[in-house]
């Protein structure tokens, strides 16, 4: 479906729909409601973060026929807040109302094998890899010495370090595949990384594209820890190359919405696509406080066919993920984090997701730190981490 088929933009006072009820859906709702839209959410979890704010929550499975009929009847356009919504659900909805991103685009991101093949065929480099579906595939991969050391990743459903096992040599591969229940996997070569960046963009129904500055990311235990923006180690040449590659990927999918493409930057300066997220991304949360248009407002604008917003970043920023670990002290007793210490500077902004139960490695919120320089923003982040570490016993050491 195109904007031409839409006839006209979907204006405030209309109802938008979200499939999925996590924190990304919650922040989409906050932006949509601020612009005057009502939002319906389809999510099986009765107490999900998005349901707490939605104008209406359909508590049902994503593929529930009656629930989908209601979404199609009441929503003028529908998006998804995570990529593991069944593509067939989005395809069915897309035959009835505008859906962005499309089912085809989301389907690509749902499977690492399809994703890597698609990106590579589009002329963007990916890490050397092998597909493992069968014992024969496993045996062939064991003979490819150039792939090791490597990471074995499940083709589907892996995120935040889940579904991934480091494989030092071919001798370790069979055991790793067994540990992953012999599901369809990608064996990906470990590359000599210099750093990692995210390229965040938005693309409208008519093909217009706007880019945000590159974010430089630090991961801990497979989970994003901080994003610093603009990326301190990325020069203009690298920034342009990453943004151009992300735009090429978006255009080849005829993508509509917010798209994030993560890139590895190698020691020789070359750029390798890691994976893409067909939605707002954790590394783009800084846009809520540092940019004229947040990634969530941009998602609303793109879905509704409105002009895309300005991506100008008025302040350097560091985004810090807040995990459930910091709700526990050194003895493992649950208590409230030191929010006073976290917010000890006026340029610190707390965003919590409404999750009642903190758990180890669970994303509970984030804090955006701004400054006149990236160094100042990083200093404020360090001070806040010290306040949290005092409770968590070294979680962020």
Feature table: binding site: 112, 153, 158-164, 188-191, 196, 219, 274-275
Sign of CA dihedral 75, 81, 87, 88: negative
**Residues ≥6 apart with Cβ < 8 Å to 141:** 130, 132, 147, 170, 173, 187
Nearest Cα residue to 40 out of 32, 235, 234: 32
| 366-379 burial: b if 16+ Cβ within 10 Å, else e | bbbbbbeebebbbe
Which tokens hold the place of 369?
């730190």
d(CA 39, CA 63): 19
Sheet architecture: strand order including 15-19: 56-58, 38-42, 15-19, 77-80
Instruction: Enumerate the β-bridge partners of residue 272.
Output: 264
d(CA 344, CA 363): 22
Distance, in Å, from the CA atom of 154 to the CA atom of 46, rounded to the nearest integer, reads 29
Residues in the chain: 397
Show the DSSP H helices in the chain as ranges: 3-6, 23-34, 65-74, 87-94, 103-109, 112-121, 135-142, 173-179, 236-252, 287-290, 295-304, 339-342, 374-392
Identify the three-state secondary structure at position 46.
Answer: coil
User: Using only C-alpha atoms, what is the Rg of the chain?
Assistant: 21
Q: CA dist 384 to 67, 220, 259, 372, Å?
A: 43, 17, 29, 18
Residue in the structure block whose two tokens are 């040599």? 169
Supply 381's token pair: 């982040």
Place of tokens 């990608």: 186
- Bind-site residues for ATP: 112, 153, 158-164, 188-191, 196, 219, 274-275
């Amino acid at each position: 479906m195109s904007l031409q088929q839409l006839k006209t933009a979907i204006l405030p006072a209309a109802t938008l729909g979200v499939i999925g009820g996590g924190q990304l859906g919650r922040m989409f709702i906050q932006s949509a409601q601020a612009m005057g839209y009502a939002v319906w959410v389809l999510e099986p979890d009765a107490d999900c973060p998005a349901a707490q704010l939605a104008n209406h929550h359909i508590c049902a499975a994503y593929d529930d026929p009656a629930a989908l009929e209601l979404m199609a009847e009441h929503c003028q356009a529908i998006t998804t807040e995570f990529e593991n919504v069944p593509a067939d659900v989005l395809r069915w909805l897309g035959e009835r109302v505008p859906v962005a991103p499309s089912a085809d685009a989301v389907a690509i991101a749902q499977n690492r094998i399809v994703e890597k093949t698609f990106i590579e065929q589009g002329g963007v480099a990916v890490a050397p890899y092998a597909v493992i579906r069968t014992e024969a595939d496993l045996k062939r991969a064991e003979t490819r010495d150039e792939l090791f050391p490597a990471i074995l990743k499940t083709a589907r459903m892996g995120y935040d370090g889940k579904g991934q096992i480091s494989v030092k040599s071919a001798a370790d591969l069979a055991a790793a595949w067994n540990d992953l229940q012999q599901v369809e996997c990608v064996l990906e070569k470990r590359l000599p990384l210099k750093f990692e960046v995210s390229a965040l963009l938005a693309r409208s129904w008519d093909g217009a594209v706007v880019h945000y500055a590159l974010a430089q990311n630090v991961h801990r235990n497979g989970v994003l820890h901080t994003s610093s923006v603009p990326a301190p180690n990325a020069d203009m040449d690298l920034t342009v190359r990453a943004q151009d590659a992300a735009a090429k990927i978006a255009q080849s999918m005829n993508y509509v919405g917010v798209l994030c493409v993560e890139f590895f930057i190698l020691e020789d300066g070359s750029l390798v696509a890691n994976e893409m997220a067909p939605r707002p991304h954790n590394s783009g949360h800084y846009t809520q406080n540092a940019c004229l248009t947040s990634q969530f407002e941009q998602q609303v604008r793109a879905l509704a066919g409105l002009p895309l917003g300005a991506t100008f970043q008025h302040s350097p920023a560091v985004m810090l993920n807040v995990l459930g670990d910091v709700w526990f002290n050194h003895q493992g007793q649950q208590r409230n984090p030191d929010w006073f210490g976290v917010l000890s500077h006026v340029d610190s902004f707390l965003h919590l997701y409404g999750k009642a139960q903190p758990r180890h490695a669970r994303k509970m919120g984030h804090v955006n730190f701004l400054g006149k320089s990236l160094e100042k923003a990083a200093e404020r982040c360090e001070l806040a981490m010290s306040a949290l570490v005092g409770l968590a016993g070294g979680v962020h050491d």
